[in-house]
Structure 1
Amino acid sequence: MNADFMEALEQLDKERGISSEVVLEAIEAALISAYKRNFNSAQNVRVEIDRATGKIRVYARKTVVESPNDHRLEIAQEAAEQIDTKYQLGDVVELEVTPRDFGRIAAQTAKQVVTQRIREAERGIIYNAYADLEEEITSGVVTRIDHRNYYIDLERTEALLPASEALPGEVLRMGDRIKALITRVEKTTKGPQIMLSRIHTGLLRRLFELEVPEIYDGVVEIKSLAREAGMRSKVAVYSRNPDVDPIGACVGPKGMRIQTIVSELCDEKIDVVEWSVDPGIFVASALSPAKVVDVEIVEGEKVARVVVPDHQLSLAIGKEGQNARLAAKLTGYKVDIKSESQLGRSQSVFAKLNLEAFAED
């Protein structure tokens, strides 16, 4: 190693933030192992790199004793005093033992250490960059596929989209560009591992923030979301500005904003409803597209009893109860839906029971 190598380390420090002193200490430690390995030495040695010139010296460290048992580790007091009269029993004497051809080994070792440190530093930089992006949206290209995972190139690193986190029925191919939510960033021996999801509710929220400027700016607020990924979602929005229609802002001109989100999520149906401080009105809105006749809120039980026209019952409940289930998630109320005729029959039975009880009295 020479002065040019030392300058290169200084440049590395400035450009990549890799401390030259830390690198030199790592090289010195690696050279100790390299010396012992290449020269079959069991000596206690110290390696020193001159910080100005890059010159390397190897020193054998020996303890001063009266009568040495192992000349590789010990030195007689008489011999130590010939080197310097200050040495006493128990002191450590350092003797230079730098091999003539040690430069070649040193250069190879230094290269390996520097390469490793650069790799570690880059991994650290990537980890720090993405650790702050958990629960944020990212975009990447599918580069590899196996039976368990999709591998997504994020330009600076590769992320993992488990097949279980892809949209149901979604077929991703190599070269496809997708958006996903960063759910977890972990440090591993192979570098940072970034986990993605396309079924997480947070992805829907981030897509709305990305496509609807009014949400990003805080004029329109997403109050709650309910999602069954790949099938249907409901989003409750509220406008802080009475002049701004929250649903219109989300749908966009000619439905362009909402259509962009729907397309990204493989045609997942999305109902955008207006949030209301009145739970009855909110529950009625949440059951959209069904029309609601009446809503009775039982606050103590967190139950909403809903009446709909007969022809709207199946629409209100939805396929396999999906519409009612999402409305319940969105509002936080258990939704009990009845048609007008069902309610009429219930009321008739109730009235009959009351009349019978009255007759008995």
Structure 2
Amino acid sequence: MNVDFLEALDQLAREKGIDKEVLLEAIEAALIASYRRNFHSAANVRVEVKRDTGEVHVYARKTVVEEPKDTRLEISLDAARDINPSYQIGDVVEIEVTPRDFGRIAAQAAKQVVMQRVKEAERSVIYSKFADREEEVVSGIVSRLEPRVAYIDLGDTEAILPQSEQMASDKLQVGKRLKVFIARVERTSKGPQIVVSRTHPGLLRRLFELEVPEIYEGIVEIKAVAREAGSRSKIAVHSRNPEVDPIGACVGARGSRVQAIVNELNGEKVDIVEWSEDPATFVANALSPAKVIDVHIYEDERVARTVVPDYQLSLAIGKEGQNARLAARLTGWKIDIKSESQMASHSLLDQLEDTNEEEPEFATLSDDWLNEP
């Protein structure tokens, strides 16, 4: 190694964000292992890389004793004082033992260490970068497809999109660009693993933040999201400014904002409803597009019984119960939906039960009357 090697280390340290001194210390540690392996040395060696010239020197460290028992580890007091008269018993003497052809071994060991440390540094940088971006939406390109996973090129690295996190409507192809939600970032033996999702409710939330300036600025707040990816979603919004219509802000002029989100999600229907502190009002809004006539709240059971017109019962429940199911997830209330006629019948039965006269009581006669004359 020489000055050119040190200059190359300088440049590498700047480009990869690695401390040059850390690299040199790692190289010295690797050279100790190489020296011991190639020259069958004891463990008492020190390797030094000169910071100004790049020269490599190997030193054997020996303890000063009266009579050495192992000359690899110990040196006599007389021999030590031939080197420096000030040595005393117990001191450690360093004797240079650099082999003639050690430069070639040193260069190879240094190359391996540098490559390993650079790879580790790059992995660490990638992990730090994406760990700070968990729960964000990023744009990527499908780079590879496998039966149970798709790989998404994010520029600096690849993320994995498991089959369970893919939308059935995505129809992924290599080269296709799409937005994904960073679900989690993990450290593994092979480097950072970035798991992304297309089904996570957070994707819908972040897409609205990107498309609606009022949400990004904090004027309109997303209170809750319920999603069945690829089919239908509901989002509850609230305006902190009475003059701003939260639903209108999310829909945009002629539906432009929400349509951009629907297009990104391959036609997934999105219901935007207004959030309310009043549970009854919120539940009624959540069942949109159905019109709710009345809502009865049962706090203890956390049940909301709703009444809708007869002709809107199927609309309120939705196909296979989807509308009611999403509304329940959005509000956190169990929702019982009844039509007007059902409620009328129920009320009539209650009235009949209340007005029923009590059955007459009959005295119990003893068997003695049979014996009376």
TM-score by length of 1: 0.94
Task: Quote the Cα distance in structure 2 between the aligned partners of 1:281 and 1:95.
Answer: 86
Per-residue CA deviation, residues 191-234 of structure 1 (Å, 9 max, x unaligned), is: 21111111111111001101111111112111111112222111
Task: Quote the Cα distance in structure 1 between the aligned partners of 2:304 and 2:356.
Answer: 29
1:74-89 to 2 correspondences below 5 Å: 74-89=74-89
Residue matched to 2:171: 171
Task: Quote the Cα distance in structure 1 between the aligned partners of 2:11 and 2:146.
Answer: 41
Determine if contact 1:226/1:326 at 8 Å carries over to the other structure.
yes
Task: Quote the Cα distance in structure 2 between the aligned partners of 1:293 and 1:151.
Answer: 49
Residue matched to 1:254: 254
Secondary structure in 1 matching 2:116: helix
Residue 66 of structure 1 deviates from its aligned partner by 2.9
Task: Quote the Cα distance in structure 2 between the aligned partners of 1:261 and 1:66.
Answer: 84
Q: Pick closer, same or farther for the CA change 1:351–1:359 going to 2, 3 Å.
A: farther
Residue matched to 2:25: 25
Residue matched to 2:187: 187
Residue 306 of structure 1 deviates from its aligned partner by 0.8
Determine if contact 1:185/1:194 at 8 Å carries over to the other structure.
yes
Residue matched to 2:371: none
Residue matched to 1:48: 48
1:218-297 to 2 correspondences below 5 Å: 218-297=218-297
Q: Residue 69 of structure 1 aligns to which amino acid in structure 2? A: K
- Answer with 9-18 or 349-358: which moved more: 9-18
Residue 308 of structure 1 deviates from its aligned partner by 0.8
Q: Residue 315 of structure 1 aligns to which amino acid in structure 2? A: L
Per-residue CA deviation, residues 159-203 of structure 1 (Å, 9 max, x unaligned), is: 111111112454312111121111111122222111111111111
1:1-361 to 2 correspondences below 5 Å: 1-42=1-42, 44-168=44-168, 170-357=170-357
Task: Quote the Cα distance in structure 2 between the aligned partners of 1:229 and 1:188.
Answer: 29
Q: Which runs of 5+ in 2 are unaligned?
A: 362-373
- Answer with 105-114 or 47-56: which moved more: 105-114
Secondary structure in 2 matching 1:51: coil
Q: Residue 246 of structure 1 aligns to which amino acid in structure 2? A: P
Determine if contact 2:169/2:266 at 8 Å carries over to the other structure.
no
Q: Pick closer, same or farther for the CA change 1:291–1:360 going to 2, 3 Å.
A: farther
Identical pairs, percent: 65
- Answer with 10-19 or 270-279: which moved more: 10-19
Task: Quote the Cα distance in structure 1 between the aligned partners of 2:126 and 2:282.
Answer: 44
Q: Pick closer, same or farther for the CA change 1:43–1:309 going to 2, 3 Å.
A: closer
Secondary structure in 2 matching 1:301: coil
Residue correspondences, number: 361
Determine if contact 1:43/1:72 at 8 Å carries over to the other structure.
no
Q: Pick closer, same or farther for the CA change 1:87–1:114 going to 2, 3 Å.
A: same
- Answer with 278-287 or 123-132: which moved more: 278-287
- Answer with 125-134 or 270-279: which moved more: 270-279
Residue 243 of structure 1 deviates from its aligned partner by 3.0
Task: Quote the Cα distance in structure 1 between the aligned partners of 2:357 and 2:49.
Answer: 102
Task: Quote the Cα distance in structure 2 between the aligned partners of 1:16 and 1:142.
Answer: 27
- Answer with 117-126 or 236-245: which moved more: 236-245
Determine if contact 1:235/1:273 at 8 Å carries over to the other structure.
yes
Task: Quote the Cα distance in structure 2 between the aligned partners of 1:46 and 1:27.
Answer: 12
Determine if contact 1:43/1:61 at 8 Å carries over to the other structure.
no
- Answer with 80-89 or 147-156: which moved more: 80-89
Residue 134 of structure 1 deviates from its aligned partner by 0.8
Runs (4 or more) in structure 1 with deviation over 6 Å come to none
Per-residue CA deviation, residues 137-178 of structure 1 (Å, 9 max, x unaligned), is: 111111112222111110011111111111245431211112
Residue 85 of structure 1 deviates from its aligned partner by 2.3
Greater Rg by CA: 2
Task: Quote the Cα distance in structure 2 between the aligned partners of 1:215 and 1:332.
Answer: 23
- Answer with 145-154 or 80-89: which moved more: 80-89
Task: Quote the Cα distance in structure 1 between the aligned partners of 2:337 and 2:208.
Answer: 30
Q: Which runs of 5+ in 1 are unaligned?
A: none
Per-residue CA deviation, residues 33-76 of structure 1 (Å, 9 max, x unaligned), is: 11122223336211111111111111111222333332222222
Residue 259 of structure 1 deviates from its aligned partner by 1.7
Residue 353 of structure 1 deviates from its aligned partner by 1.0
Q: Residue 110 of structure 1 aligns to which amino acid in structure 2? A: A
Residue 360 of structure 1 deviates from its aligned partner by 6.1
Q: Residue 344 of structure 2 aligns to which amino acid in structure 1? A: G
- Answer with 141-150 or 14-23: which moved more: 14-23
Task: Quote the Cα distance in structure 2 between the aligned partners of 1:294 and 1:4.
Answer: 82
TM-score by length of 2: 0.91
Residue 254 of structure 1 deviates from its aligned partner by 2.2
Determine if contact 1:183/1:196 at 8 Å carries over to the other structure.
yes
Task: Quote the Cα distance in structure 2 between the aligned partners of 1:129 and 1:108.
Answer: 32
Task: Quote the Cα distance in structure 1 between the aligned partners of 2:360 and 2:336.
Answer: 33
RMSD: 1.9
Residue matched to 2:364: none
